[in-house]
Chains A and B, each alone.
Chain A
Amino acid sequence: MRGVISRTAGSGRRLAGLGNGKQGQAALSTAARPADETGLDANAMMTPGSPAADLHEAAGAAGHWSVTVHADRIRRALRPASRLSAALRKRLVAAAGSLREHWVRSLQLRVVGTTLVLSGAVVTVLGLFLMQYIASDVLQADATRTGSVAAEGLQTAEAMPWVRSSPGSGTRGQIYQLLHQLQVQAPGLGNYGMAVLIAQPRQEYAALTAGGRLGIPSAQSLPTPLTDKVSQLQGHGIQNKLSYQLTSINNYPGSGAPVTTGFAYGVPLGNYYQLYYFFPLSDEQRSLDQVQLIMMLAGLALVVLLALIASLVTRWVVVPVRQAASGAQRLRAGNLQERMAVRGSDELAALATSFNEMAASLQDKMQQLEDLTLGQRQFVSDVSHELRTPLTTIKCAAEVIFASRAELDPAAARSAELLLSQLERFESLLADLLEISKHDANVATLDPEPVDVCDLVRNAADVAQQLAERRGAKIEFRLPAEPCVAEVDPRRVERIMRNLLVNAVEHGDGKGTLVTVAGDSGAVAVAVRDHGVGLRPGEEHLVFDRFWRADPARARSTGGTGLGLSIALEDARLHGGWLEAWGECGRGSLFRLTLPRAAGALLEGSPLSLIPDEAELADGAAGLAGLPLDGEGGGAAGLAGLPLDGDGKAGPGSLPLDGHDIEAGAGSAPGTGAVPDE
């Protein structure tokens, strides 16, 4: 069969070429015939009454045929597609990125895509199987039909007396007569052809059909394996043995196509003749093609429909999930009223219900927190009032007693002094505690107005001046000539400055304190520099901790509350400003307050350097080693970077301490004495 088919393949356009695919043959059990078989059935005896055995074989051959049809079809269909993909490769590669993005992000796309591929595969396999089945069925029916026609024809031919004698002069006419009779015998069977070959003494092509209108064009058109087989049978004296082969004939009359495929039957007719039939399969091919087309269209439609259904079904699932996702996002954004619509009682409804319950519980918690905050605020307010009123009475009483201490005995007089001074300490501690609890409760409010920061610095200096005078120290001011107006809360900024100044004088070891004010377009900065004990590495952060003391053994001479710098930090933060510290052991420290000029503006840098100039100048490399001028590396630990811009940035990387910053600090206010240069 292989040989036949491959031969026909060379000339075949319609059916013949379809025989090339061996893989299709191998894949099907019904086609599990040895490859060397020619398709000629040597053993099947065709008798008029029982053609079934041979026809079964014919059906087997048809099985091969139909499968190879499809394998080749697919390959042919794929060939232009691969050429197309080569042309589109560039665009496909470009699209692949976005497609992958979508693929990863969209569940719907993944489901639809997977459905398309899987259902496509299933439909293809099913289609192939069905086509194979239908084709084998059609061929089997055809073989049955044509086989019986051929057997009947043989019977008629054998009844002719001349078939037993060798060809003579009248033989040709007799053959034509026979063929005519055969044609009349089975009309309406379509475009089939007949031929009688005069096999002895030499192969001579005798006739086709009556009138030559129908039939096999020449003896050469007959497949050689078939004629060989028939000759062999004739040689062995075996008669009545019908052989057949699926073959193609060129220029078959009545068929428009150059090549016609069909069943060829051959049988020895006496000792001298051979009878051949050819039944073209054009009609079957046409109907099979139609079936194939319909199945392909149906398969395509099925796949598309499945994809649509998958898309629709996924949508049912995905849309509520998407709604839940966006709802959760809105929740996160603070819209606590966000709820999902609950429909039915399925899993999605359960999702919506759970989501809503979560949102409700979140809302409850938030409400509780809000109530708590409100309660805290009220508590702070109440404590403030409740404590302050008796404290006022005690204070006034202590003052009255203190005023008349001259009349008291020494112990009582001293007690009056202690009472008054400790009352003052208690009072400032209470005030600081209340202040910091307000910050903690987030109830501290900013009351900004445009003021000259220099004025605030001068106002705040009073207390520190008195303290400094007592210690024989001086506070030096380097203020710019023009006002440094910024939108700040004067009460809070004054408090920050008071804290910084008192702190500087307290830890200044009686040495001078330098206060520098400078401004640029976006910010105003105040630096308070002392020359006291300074800070150890790492303490730059600790100084802002509540009740932190540089040296626990060291007495707090001024009776500060230990909350001053913490409150100052909170106040700076409330302004969206920075409060940072720098310090070195034995070289004093520097506190820098940077505030945005406009309330609520974001700080980008400070007009003043956090690292005092003289620290760099004093002892060159040794001093520089510890100064991370590039704003990177672990050296930043030597500096107190507390960026208070509220965006969560922390650590050395966010310190506004790069070279640019330092330059800006040095160069922003030339001639205003902004830079310490002692």
Chain B
Amino acid sequence: MKGRVLVVDDDAALAEMLGIVLRGEGFEPTFVADGDRAMDVFRDSRPDLVLLDLMLPGLDGIDVCRQIRAESGVPIVMLTAKSDTVDVVLGLESGADDYIVKPFQSKVLIARVRARLRRTDDPAPEMLQIGDVSIDVAGHSVTRVGVPLNLTPLEFDLLVALARKPRQVFTREVLLEQVWGYRHAADTRLVNVHVQRLRAKIEKDPERPEVVVTVRGVGYKAGPG
């Protein structure tokens, strides 16, 4: 398993503590305490995952998140002291895959990091089709009418999870477990926000989705009808 983790946090004590915990689990942490320098360090260290504090001196965590997402689909896990709707949704919308609210348990942090880094080692060659969207599971690529779509690994996982069982309705809790690796139900806003992000990329008209359809009061399913 790849294990380079970039910790973007201005709190030196917490960063050091996170370093201890991550090293203890076999990861290789790098640190940056300043939002302005975050992108440079990101480009230098080329991490497999970013732990990003939302409140940073200099460039804001949300902006750092957007900049990273603009360059890369690397998993981003936000560290936030605010569980308020607005902050969390803002973070998720700016491209974070998951978030952890402080104070957290170290094993929860490790579990989330592992879940984000978990990739099927050798996926069987598999082609999926929903509407006009084609998914090459092994090749990690998605095209719509031949045009390649740039999805983050998380969005890809979400789409594959839905597409593997077309017309089956997935509750948000099931998706949280399958895609995010949550054993117990967590914040369903994660699902909502990422479905929105996914739709923005794969739907012809995100306002009237045809690939990922909402089943009111239950959850989501792939394909029309």
The reply to whether A385 and B82 form a contact with Cβ atoms under 8 Å apart is yes
Interface string of A363-395 (1 = CB under 8 A from B): 000000000000000000100110011111111
A646 within 8 A of B: no
Contact at A491–B187, with CB atoms within 8 Å?
Answer: yes
Which of A283-291, A444-452, A648-656 is the contact stretch? Answer: A444-452
CB-based nearest B residue for A404: B24
Q: Is the CB of A393 within 8 A of B11?
A: yes
- Chain B residues near A390: list those with CB within 8 A: 11, 13-14
A396-B21, A485-B217 as given contacts; A389 in contact with B14, CB under 8 Å: yes
Residues of B within 8 A of A388 (CB): 81, 101-103
Interface: B190 (CB within 8 A): no
Q: Would you call A462 and B17 a contact (CB within 8 A)?
A: no
| A455 proximal to B (CB < 8 A) | yes
- The answer, yes or no, to whether A335 is at the interface (CB within 8 Å) is no
In the assembled complex, the Cα of A455 lies from the Cα of B14 at a distance in Å of: 36
- Whether B208 is near chain A, meaning CB under 8 Å from some CB there, is no
Task: Take A384-B81, A390-B13 as given contacts and tell me if A395 and B103 are in contact as well, using a CB distance cutoff of 8 Å.
Answer: yes
Interface residues of A in 345-364 (CB under 8 A from B): none
Q: Is A399 an interface residue (CB 8 A)?
A: yes
- The residue that B17 contacts in the complex, of A384, A396, A445, A449, with Cβ under 8 A, is A396
Q: Does A400 contact B (CB under 8 A)?
A: yes
Give the distance in Å from the alpha carbon of A397 to the alpha carbon of B101 in the complex.
17
Residues of A within 8 A of B84 (CB): 381, 445
Indicate whether A389 sits within 8 Å of B217 (C-beta atoms), given known contacts A400-B20, A490-B188.
no
Interface residue B55 (Cβ < 8 Å from any Cβ of A): yes
B118 contacts chain A at the CB level, 8 A cutoff: no
Whole-angstrom distance between the alpha carbons of A222 and B185 in the complex?
A: 126
Instruction: Flag whether A258 is at the interface (Cβ < 8 A).
Output: no
Q: Would you call B217 and A391 a contact (CB within 8 A)?
A: no
0/1 string, A452-464, CB within 8 A of B gives 1: 1001000100100
Of the residues B82, B104, B171, contact of A392 by C-beta under 8 Å:
B104
A137 at the interface (CB under 8 A from B): no
Any A CB within 8 A of the CB of B120 = no
Contacts of B173 in A (CB 8 A): 455, 459
> A388 vs B79: C-alpha distance in the bound complex, in angstroms?
11
Q: Which of A392, A447, A452 contacts B102 (CB 8 A)?
A: A392
Q: How far, in whole Å, are A392 and B51 apart by their CA atoms in the complex?
A: 14
How many angstroms between the C-alpha atoms of A472 and B149 in the bound complex?
A: 54
How many residue pairs between the two chains, A and B, have CB atoms under 8 Å in the bound complex?
75
A483 on the B face (CB < 8 A) = yes
By a CB distance below 8 angstroms, the chain B residues around A658 are none
Given A389-B14, A392-B103, A399-B106, A450 contacting B21 (CB threshold 8 A): no
B109 to chain A, nearest CB (A): 8
Nearest Cβ on chain A to B112's Cβ, whole angstroms: 14
Write out the residue numbers on chain B whose beta carbons fall within 8 Å of the beta carbon of A338.
Answer: none
Complex interface: chain B residues within 8 A of A616 (CB): none
Given A396-B17, A397-B17, A450-B216, decide whether A391 and B82 contact each other with a Cβ distance below 8 A: no
* Residues of chain A within 8 A of B164, CB atoms compared: none
Q: What residues of A have a CB within 8 angstroms of the CB of B105 in the complex?
A: 395-396, 399
Contacts of A485 in B (CB 8 A): 217
In the complex, the answer to whether A381 meets B20 with C-beta atoms within 8 Å is no
Chain B residues with Cβ below 8 Å from A384 are 81-82
User: B residues within 8 A CB of A452?
Assistant: 217
A427 within 8 Å of B (CB atoms): yes
- A443 CB to nearest B CB, Å: 9
Quick one: CB contact mask for B195-221 with A, threshold 8 Å, 1 for yes? 000000000000000000000110000
Q: A395-B105, A396-B21 are in contact. Are A385 and B55 (CB under 8 A)?
A: yes
For B192, the closest partner residue in chain A by CB is A449
Measured CA separation A483–B218 after assembly (Å):
10
Q: Are A393 and B14 in contact (CB under 8 A)?
A: yes
- Name the interface residues of A264-291: CB closer than 8 Å to any CB of B: none
Q: How far is the CB of A429 from chain B (nearest CB, A)?
A: 12
**Which partner residue on chain A sits nearest B12 by CB separation?**
A393
Identify which of A399, A447, A483 contacts B217 (C-beta below 8 A).
Answer: A483
B14/A392 in contact, CB under 8 A: yes
Given A393-B14, A396-B17, A400-B106, do A459 and B185 touch, yes or no (CB 8 Å)?
yes
Q: Does B107 belong to the interface (CB within 8 Å)?
A: yes
Is there contact, CB below 8 Å, between A389 and B85?
A: no
A-B contact pairs, 18 of them (CB 8 A): A381-B84, A384-B82, A385-B81, A388-B102, A390-B13, A392-B79, A393-B11, A396-B105, A399-B21, A399-B105, A399-B107, A445-B86, A447-B85, A450-B216, A451-B217, A455-B171, A485-B217, A490-B188
4 closest A-B pairs by beta carbon, nearest first, are A385-B81, A388-B102, A388-B81, A392-B103
List 13 other contacts, CB 8 Å, given A389-B11, A393-B14: A381-B82, A388-B101, A389-B14, A389-B81, A392-B102, A396-B20, A396-B21, A396-B105, A400-B21, A445-B84, A447-B85, A451-B217, A452-B217
